[in-house]
């Protein structure tokens, strides 16, 4: 019986142990919860087959404790310690929409520890506060009228100037770019690029990381399937040797089970998907750090912005999704600080801050799509995006006078203007729009007209689930060699980030970058590096974009 029991235990535990050894060979973080793996996948089949083997074997009685000890010993053999710190020179951690109003208020030891051990400053944003524009401004060190990214229907080739990773790699350094906006399609480089949420297709560099974007684009956790994509099992198998952890897969499985059995509401699904995405991104980025060992690395977390728009009004309540997003971002930062060496300079940045939306003005909201279609028919390529009750309209070929003339023609049946407009500071080809009459009634929407068309195509009753709005006061935290501890700088600007990162990398910023170097050598380099774009991004841009992501965040209806 003893022989049968031991043989059954070995055979029962062998598949799970071989799988764990395969996973840990390329991903030492996979078994982050070995007790769970042992309890779910190793011991049950071991006990089952061990018991059956004991019943079938006619030898002397065995010892049941051996059945448990053997697979446990084999499991320990399949584990290996996590690699040591990576010698990243500069790590930039983006926390989209982060504000000191919450960083200082919540229990966030990593973020607050960087305030105490390093330098902090309010990072001033700019209008219009659209994330693609702002992240490109930070990445390039040039204002929008120079870098050319003005709206959401953009891709990497639309940037007319090089970004940080372009400059640094051209100077001979390896780079890792994880979900920085306007990085799709990725180009081949020394390192890796995983594009952010605007990407309409799953390309990454190298392509072995494309499972991350397939998961995101297919919305597989939302029960929506996309043709010609790998199955969920195939994506998991592709991700396990590239960083996905057991705890993340368990959370994914738990959520999928809840979706099938409980059918949660859209808002709960939105929260769960953002937090699961954060876990997946953390897993894969940590693996990429160790696999590619970039000298410059960037990681951007978007849950704080996405949940801030919808759940700002729940701050302080027991069920506060935004607090959970900040805690997740803080936990990721804490882990990344442990993954890099003591000589690494770490910057935490946000493209803008956040505040409560003025809910007393939210009865009627302007719409984007019909206005954009009509403007494009009259003026050529046009971008329209919504932030709260305000639209920003940007023309690419027409003059601002032609845009104003077009808007002046959009009148109601009593010849009153439908929109009021004003210049957008620093954006000479854009106008900010609000409704001329914010007290429109449902009856007005039902029967009114705008420029001869139904008013319902230009405004609607507001979705009051959006309670947070962008604020110009963002976050900058810095920690590393030569950076003072407990220091507060005067306000920094988005334009300061690119020259500062280049200086910290030992690359002298070009003379045509208008921002300051906040840390590092003040020496300036060549007059300009804009010529890099022609070599690195030779193809013209397109207008593809993941519009579902824009609708989820409220930028489009």
Which tens digit of pLDDT belongs to each residue from 77-122?
A: 555 667 889 999 999 999 999 999 999 999 999 999 999 999 999 9
pLDDT for the residue numbered 67: 47
In order of 14, 16, 17, 43, 178, the CA distances from 11 in angstroms are 5, 10, 10, 11, 41
**Average pLDDT of the segment spanning 284-304:** 97
- 111 lies in the same domain as 186: yes
Token representation of residue 26: 């390329």
Number of domains in the chain: 3
pLDDT at 194 over 80: yes
- 436 lies in the same domain as 298: no
Last residue in a domain, options 442, 461, 480: 461
Token representation of residue 450: 């705008």
In order of 97, 372, 436, 549, 553, the CA distances from 463 in angstroms are 21, 21, 20, 17, 12
CATH number at residue 179: 3.40.720.10
pLDDT for the residue numbered 489: 94
Q: Could you please report the per-residue DSSP string of 355-387? A: EE--GGG-SEEE-SHHHHHHHHHHHSSEEEEEE
Q: Which helix (H) or strand (E) covers residue 474, if one does?
A: strand 473-479
- 195 lies in the same domain as 310: yes
**221, part of any domain:** no
pLDDT for the residue numbered 163: 97
For residue 61, what pLDDT band results from cuts at 50, 70 and 90? Answer: very low
In order of 248, 422, 423, the CA distances from 428 in angstroms are 46, 11, 7
The model's pLDDT over 2-40, given as tens digits with 9 standing for 90+, comes to 555 455 555 556 666 677 777 778 898 988 877 776 666
The answer to which of 7-16, 94-103, 210-219, 371-380 has the lowest mean pLDDT is: 7-16
For residue 225, what pLDDT band results from cuts at 50, 70 and 90? Answer: very low
Question: How many CA atoms, within 13 angstroms, populate the side-chain half-sphere of residue 249?
Answer: 22
Percent of the chain with pLDDT over 70: 80
pLDDT at 220 over 50: no
pLDDT for the residue numbered 32: 83
User: How is residue 191 annotated by DSSP?
Assistant: E
pLDDT for the residue numbered 56: 47
- 182 lies in the same domain as 290: yes
Task: State whether residue 428 is helix, strand or coil.
Answer: strand
Is the CB of residue 362 less than 8 Å from the CB of residue 461? no
pLDDT for the residue numbered 321: 94
**Average pLDDT of the segment spanning 49-57:** 50
Residue 435 CA to residue 412 CA, distance in Å, equals 12
**Average pLDDT of the segment spanning 439-451:** 80
Last residue in a domain, options 45, 78, 111: 78
Nearest to 205, CA basis, from 189, 182, 181: 189
Is the CB of residue 431 less than 8 Å from the CB of residue 419? no
pLDDT for the residue numbered 460: 83
For residue 540, what pLDDT band results from cuts at 50, 70 and 90? Answer: low
For residue 141, what pLDDT band results from cuts at 50, 70 and 90? Answer: very high
**217, part of any domain:** no
**214, part of any domain:** no
pLDDT at 539 over 50: yes
Domain that holds residue 101: 90-200+275-357+470-552
Greater confidence (15 vs 368) lies with 368
The answer to which of 189-198, 410-419, 456-465 has the lowest mean pLDDT is: 456-465
Last residue in a domain, options 54, 78, 102: 78
**Average pLDDT of the segment spanning 309-334:** 92
Q: Which helix (H) or strand (E) covers residue 242, if one does?
A: none
Residues listed for the chain = 557
- 114 lies in the same domain as 60: no
**29, part of any domain:** yes
**165, part of any domain:** yes
**246, part of any domain:** no
pLDDT for the residue numbered 39: 61
Bridge partners, 449 (sequence order): 454
**Average pLDDT of the segment spanning 152-174:** 92
Is the CB of residue 276 less than 8 Å from the CB of residue 255? yes
pLDDT at 222 over 50: no
What are the φ and ψ backbone dihedral angles of 474, each rounded to 5 degrees? -90, -165
pLDDT at 199 over 90: no
* Highest mean pLDDT (candidates 17-26, 226-235, 339-348): 339-348
For residue 207, what pLDDT band results from cuts at 50, 70 and 90? Answer: very high
pLDDT at 295 over 60: yes
pLDDT at 510 over 60: yes
Is the CB of residue 123 less than 8 Å from the CB of residue 498? no
- 49 lies in the same domain as 194: no
**220, part of any domain:** no
In order of 79, 156, 296, 387, 554, the CA distances from 543 in angstroms are 47, 11, 29, 21, 19
pLDDT for the residue numbered 221: 40
Is the CB of residue 4 less than 8 Å from the CB of residue 54? yes
Q: What share of the chain is helix, strand, coil (3-state, %, to 5)?
A: 45, 15, 40
**Average pLDDT of the segment spanning 166-179:** 97
Is the CB of residue 161 less than 8 Å from the CB of residue 515? no
* CA 317 to chain CA centroid, nearest Å: 25
Residue 193 CA to residue 190 CA, distance in Å, equals 10
pLDDT for the residue numbered 400: 92
- 520 lies in the same domain as 484: yes
User: How is residue 200 annotated by DSSP?
Assistant: S
For residue 178, what pLDDT band results from cuts at 50, 70 and 90? Answer: very high
- 338 lies in the same domain as 368: no
- 192 lies in the same domain as 284: yes
pLDDT for the residue numbered 55: 47
Percent of the chain with pLDDT over 90: 50
- 349 lies in the same domain as 375: no
Average of per-residue pLDDT values in the chain: 84
The model's pLDDT over 245-280, given as tens digits with 9 standing for 90+, comes to 999 999 988 888 888 888 888 788 889 999 999 999
For residue 401, what pLDDT band results from cuts at 50, 70 and 90? Answer: very high
- 185 lies in the same domain as 321: yes
What are the strands, taking DSSP E only, across 44-158?
90-95, 119-124
- 437 lies in the same domain as 293: no
For residue 487, what pLDDT band results from cuts at 50, 70 and 90? Answer: very high
pLDDT for the residue numbered 537: 80
**269, part of any domain:** no
């Amino acid at each position: 019986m003893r022989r049968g029991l031991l043989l059954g235990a070995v055979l029962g535990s062998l598949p799970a142990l071989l799988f764990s050894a395969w996973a840990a060979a390329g991903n030492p973080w996979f078994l982050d919860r070995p007790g769970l793996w042992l309890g779910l996948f190793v011991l049950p089949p071991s006990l089952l087959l061990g018991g059956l083997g004991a019943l079938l074997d006619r030898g002397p009685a065995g010892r049941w404790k051996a059945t448990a000890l053997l697979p446990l010993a084999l499991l320990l053999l399949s584990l290996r310690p996590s690699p040591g710190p990576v010698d990243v020179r500069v790590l930039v951690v983006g926390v989209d929409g982060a504000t000191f109003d919450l960083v200082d208020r919540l229990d966030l030891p990593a973020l607050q520890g960087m305030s105490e051990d390093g330098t902090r400053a309010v990072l001033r944003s700019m209008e219009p506060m659209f994330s693609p524009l702002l992240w490109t401004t930070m990445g390039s060190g040039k204002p929008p009228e120079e870098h050319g990214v003005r709206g959401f229907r953009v891709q990497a080739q639309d940037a007319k100037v090089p970004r940080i990773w372009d400059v640094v790699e051209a100077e001979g350094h390896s780079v890792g770019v994880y979900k920085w906006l306007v990085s799709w399609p990725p180009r081949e480089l020394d390192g890796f690029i995983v594009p952010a949420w605007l990407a309409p297709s799953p390309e990454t560099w190298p392509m072995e990381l494309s499972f991350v974007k397939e998961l995101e684009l297919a919305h597989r956790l939302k029960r929506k399937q996309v043709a010609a994509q790998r199955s969920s099992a195939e994506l998991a198998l592709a991700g396990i040797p590239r960083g996905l952890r057991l705890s993340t897969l368990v959370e994914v499985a738990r959520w999928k089970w809840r979706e099938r059995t409980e059918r949660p509401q859209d808002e709960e699904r939105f929260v769960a998907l953002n937090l699961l995405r954060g876990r997946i991104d953390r897993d894969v980025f940590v693996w990429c750090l160790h696999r590619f060992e970039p000298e410059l690395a960037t990681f951007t977390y978007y849950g704080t912005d996405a949940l801030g728009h919808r759940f700002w009004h729940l701050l302080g309540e027991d069920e506060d999704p935004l607090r959970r997003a900040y805690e997740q971002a803080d936990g990721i930062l804490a882990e990344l600080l442990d993954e890099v060496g003591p000589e690494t300079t770490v910057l935490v940045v946000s493209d803008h801050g956040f505040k409560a939306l003025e809910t007393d003005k939210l009865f009627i909201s302007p719409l984007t799509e019909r206005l954009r279609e009509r403007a494009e028919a009259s003026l050529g390529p046009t971008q329209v995006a919504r932030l709260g009750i305000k639209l920003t309209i940007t023309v690419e070929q027409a003059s601002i006078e032609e845009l104003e003339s077009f808007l002046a023609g959009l009148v109601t049946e009593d010849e009153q203007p439908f929109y009021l407009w004003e210049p957008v500071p620093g954006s000479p080809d854009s106008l900010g729009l609000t409704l001329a009459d914010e007290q429109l009634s449902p009856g007005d929407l039902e029967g009114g007209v705008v420029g001869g068309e139904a008013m319902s195509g230009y405004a609607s009753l507001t979705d009051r689930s959006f309670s947070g709005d962008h604020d110009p006061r963002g976050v900058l935290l810095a920690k590393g060699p030569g950076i003072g501890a407990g220091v507060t700088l005067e306000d920094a600007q988005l334009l300061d980030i690119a020259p500062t990162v280049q200086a910290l990398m030992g690359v002298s910023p070009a003379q045509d970058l208008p921002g300051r170097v906040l840390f590092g050598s003040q020496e300036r380099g060549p007059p300009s590096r804009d010529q890099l774009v022609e070599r690195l991004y030779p193809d013209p841009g397109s207008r593809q974009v993941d519009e579902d992501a824009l609708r989820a965040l409220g930028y489009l209806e």
